[in-house]
Amino acid sequence: MITSLKPLLKAAQENNFAYGAFNVNSVSQIEAALRIHEIFNSPMILQGAELANAFMSGKNDFKNASFEEKVKGMKIMADAFYKITEKSKIPSVLHLDHGSSFEICKAAIDAGYTSVMIDGSSKPFEENIEITKKVVDYANKHNVSVEGELGVLAGVEDQVFSKTSTYTNPLDAVRFVKETGVDTLAISYGTSHGANKGNNVVLRKEIAIAVNECLHHEGLDCALVSHGSSNVDPYMVKQINDLGGDIKNAGGIPIPQLQQVIKSGIRKINVDTDIRLAIARNTRELLERNESLLDDKYVKMIDQRLKENPKDFDPRYFMQDIIDTMITGDIPTDSLQEVIDSMKDAVMEVCGRMIVAFGSNEKYKLLDI
Ligand code: G3H
Ligand code: 13P
Ligand code: ZN
């Protein structure tokens, strides 16, 4: 069952829980994510950022994709998502993560995305309001929900690098939500994207509290979103490094801190890095324990990529030679099937852990759809 984010937000606001929103980059990741949401009876939010859509267009060099290639990939992503989720009992949302322009958000809506983010956070405040409002106006006509962002996260945000984080100003948040009409607002309060969030991160949870309270005082019904929220489990990082990886200065957001901010109106918690790490760990482990798999030409290429660049843990890098399988779900050999199965296990492990931690398990029947 496919829906916008709106009914999911209503259920979460009324019952005080949050959803993990999981980034996916292949057909089998969508399948695995749905399976684990079905097992836990949780509504599902999957998301693709512009680069994920670029990869889904079949372009190995996805970081240099054109607008047209991203749009092509959006259609492939949306078609796969509909095919896989449509008949499930689970209400499922396909969300565009970090849309950078009105045109890309419009293309996502036209391709079938049921929710979009317009990330104007690096623009001047007035410009951010203007572009976000334009997206909301278009999205409203198509029953699509919209996420805006105010404040800048530290770290790498869709190729935009900001060295310092500018936390969200709660008073600006009120004006932003009033003038744009967004359904959700991503705030900056100490999280950051990627695997290097710092040692012992302490979230500025008072920012989430203040934004939430200010919005309520003004009668504004807008849920908050936490980007850059991966846990970056040190034991998982150690396993990757013990298996030949080279991930340095890893650090993430402890889950208890995220559970704290759910009480302050955070309803959507974005997780991408943890899924990438789990896939890298599972793939490395599988190949180390089953050398005979390397007789398969596809698996061999994955192994070579892992060895060639031990710092990279993005499956779009080490699985680029099987991009056809990633975007179609067609798996040519039994050995490659084992690799894909271990990737699915990784997606299920991370999503399952977050579904339970954030409390969306068993909530699928609360939705008014
Ligand atoms: O917030 C960014 C997400 O982790 C998406 O990453 O742009 O590499 O697909 P990506
Ligand atoms: P992580 O890098 O912490 O997984 O954050 C993902 C994210 O914010 C996607 O929008
Ligand atoms: Zn993000």
Q: What is the distance in A from the centroid of ligand 3 to the CA of 226? A: 8
For residues 308-312, average pLDDT? 97
97 is catalytic: yes
Output the ligand 2 site: residues, CB below 6 A.
23, 97-98, 193-194, 227-230, 270-274
Q: What is the pLDDT of residue 368?
A: 85
With a 6 Å cutoff on the Cβ, whether 158 touches ligand 1 is yes
| Residues of the chain above pLDDT 90, percent | 95
Q: What is the pLDDT of residue 240?
A: 98
Ligand approaching nearest to the C-alpha of 270: 2
Contact 204, 239 (CB under 8 A): no
Protein residue with least CA distance to atom 1, ligand 2: 228
The model carries a pTM of 0.97
pLDDT at 157 over 90: no
* Per-residue pLDDT reduced to its tens digit, 272-286: 999 999 999 999 999
Token output for 329:
């779900």
* For ligand 2, mutation pick of 51, 196, 258, 272 (most atoms within 8 Å of CB): 272
Could you say which of 97, 183, 233, 274 is catalytic?
A: 97
For residue 49, which atom of ligand 1 is closest to its CA?
9
Ligand approaching nearest to the C-alpha of 21: 2
- For residue 2, what is the DSSP state? B
- Dihedral class, residue 68 (left if φ above 0, else alpha if ψ from -120 to 50, else beta): alpha
* Per-residue pLDDT reduced to its tens digit, 231-254: 999 999 999 999 999 999 999 999
For residue 195, which atom of ligand 2 is closest to its CA?
2
pLDDT band at 163 (very low <50, low <70, confident <90, very high): low
What's the Rg (C-alpha) of the chain?
19
Query: In terms of Cα–Cα distance, which of 96, 112, 85 is closest to 53?
Result: 96
Alpha helices in 63-196 (DSSP H): 67-85, 102-111, 125-140, 170-180
Protein residue with least CA distance to atom 10, ligand 1: 51
**Summary mean pLDDT of the chain:** 96
* Per-residue pLDDT reduced to its tens digit, 194-225: 999 998 999 999 999 999 999 999 999 999 99
Query: In terms of Cα–Cα distance, which of 142, 197, 196, 189 is closest to 170?
Result: 189
Q: What is the distance in A from the centroid of ligand 3 to the CA of 14? A: 25
Q: What is the pLDDT of residue 161?
A: 43
d(CA 259, CA 267): 10
Q: What is the distance in A from the centroid of ligand 1 to the CA of 366? A: 30
Q: Are strands 115-118 and 155-157 parallel, antiparallel or unpaired?
A: unpaired
* For ligand 2, mutation pick of 24, 25, 119, 227 (most atoms within 8 Å of CB): 227
Q: How many CA atoms lie within 13 A of 296 on its CB side?
A: 20
